[in-house]
Amino acid sequence: MHSVKVFLLVLLSALLTAPLSAQVQSVGVAGDGEFTRITITSETPIRPDIFLRETEDGMIIEMVPNDFRLTHQPFFAEPTGGIFAYTLDTDRIVFELDRPMMIMREIDLPPSGNERLYRYILDLSGVSETRFRTAAQRDEKRFARFEADRSSSAMPAPVQVADIAPQPESPSTKPASFGALMQMAARQRKVIVIDPGHGGRDPGALAIIGGKESDVVLKTSLKLKRMIEQDPRYLVKLTRETDIYVEHEDRVTMARNWGADLFISVHADAAGAPTVSGASVYTISTRGEARIDGTAKKYGWELPFEDGTSEEVSDILQDLTVRETKSNSSIFAEFLVPELGQAGPLLRNTHRQKNLFVLLAPDVPAVLVEIGFLTNTSDARRLKSERGRRKSAEAIKRAIDAYFDRQDLLLATN
Ligand SMILES: [Zn+2]
């Protein structure tokens, strides 16, 4: 009981002394400048005022969260497309833009499920300089008024106990450490399974400049794995990490046994004509879909229905699952295509359907990505280079983020 008393004491003293301010836990930026997303997590809602501004230093987005305070160093992802830097001040966050962008939408998500933090999401999209300038001029007046109001009402607000949301999950009044954040994220980690195509006795396509598909896709997959591992939101598994042959059905079985939330098979293409180049993404075709049930039965990929579920009901549930899985696979493919376009050329009709065995799991959204043509000199050089590998991996990682961000949004709004 002693510890409970101590805890209450700590909590009470915290109520009396702690400022009721938004503790920013992380800042993340993802996207390419055509579409860029800022995500800020915090322990209390940040409800910021936002201003597009054109200053001597260039175009910026200045965000002044309601009673924002930084008492520790939050962690943030490296800035990417559209935003080249950002700084956290004592009472605001400034994002420096490398191209004109405007706010498309603003989303405020309360904690839900395992997500203990508030998430504030700002979606930006690329616009012309003229449009940015018009908006910035309008915001400049608003900004001046805002700053004037703030300095005149700089009196500290009285502490009202009723304002303090109960936080049963965070008895410690210290800001969450990075370790604690990692632990929190680990509880709801998404499992990503990367499947480097071919291997061992099956080299896959041969590169026009020398080398084989099985090596190229393994190196890219390992790079992607390391990239995903940096992100506490995910757990990543590879169906092979060395040059070995793995049966197709074993690749799918592994993914299902690991509880995969997403399966990405990585391949490189070959064509008769050396001029054909570009990346493409495959999801299951209608013909492939027709053999899911039979294949699932044969390899024991049945869905975990409760005992006593009638055959009719389980058939319906199975159908629904297969349909939802197919739809999620397509959604991921649609996120992936524009990202791959940032990493290199795209094959025409980039999102295609095919009857591919590794895409047959009834309940794991799956795509097969062909990262380029090894029979095309320029693609082959790109795929075999360190820089090209990094770009392909980054593209896939951004699509993974976009896909799961969307899922989080759907969960939060339902
Ligand atoms: Zn292949």
Q: What is the pTM of this model?
A: 0.58
Residue ranges with CB less than 5 Å from ion ligand 1:
197, 204, 267
Note the maximum CA span of the chain.
77
Query: Which residues lie closer than 8 Å to 56 by C-beta, 6 or more apart?
Result: none
Ligand 1 mean position, distance from CA 380 (Å): 14
Ligand 1 mean position, distance from CA 369 (Å): 9
Number of other residues whose CB lies within 10 A of the CB of residue 240: 21
Strand order in the sheet with 93-97: 49-55, 58-64, 93-97, 83-88
Ligand 1 mean position, distance from CA 267 (Å): 4
Ligand 1 mean position, distance from CA 7 (Å): 58
Q: What per-residue confidence (pLDDT) applies to 133?
A: 86
Cα separation, 333 vs 350, in Å, equals 9
Token readout for 398 is: 């951004």
Ligand 1 mean position, distance from CA 403 (Å): 24
Ligand 1 mean position, distance from CA 199 (Å): 10
Q: What per-residue confidence (pLDDT) applies to 184?
A: 44
What residues in the chain have per-residue pLDDT under 50? 1-20, 156-187
Q: What per-residue confidence (pLDDT) applies to 63?
A: 87
Ligand 1 mean position, distance from CA 299 (Å): 22
Ligand 1 mean position, distance from CA 204 (Å): 5
Cα separation, 88 vs 94, in Å, equals 7
Cα separation, 123 vs 402, in Å, equals 12
Ligand 1 mean position, distance from CA 213 (Å): 7
Number of other residues whose CB lies within 10 A of the CB of residue 229: 12
Ligand 1 mean position, distance from CA 390 (Å): 19
Ligand 1 mean position, distance from CA 283 (Å): 14
Ligand 1 mean position, distance from CA 290 (Å): 23
Q: What per-residue confidence (pLDDT) applies to 413?
A: 61
Q: What per-residue confidence (pLDDT) applies to 381?
A: 97
Ligand 1 mean position, distance from CA 205 (Å): 6
Which of 132, 237, 248 has the alpha carbon at shortest distance from 198? 248
Q: What per-residue confidence (pLDDT) applies to 7?
A: 36
- What are the φ and ψ backbone dihedral angles of 309, each rounded to 5 degrees? -70, 130
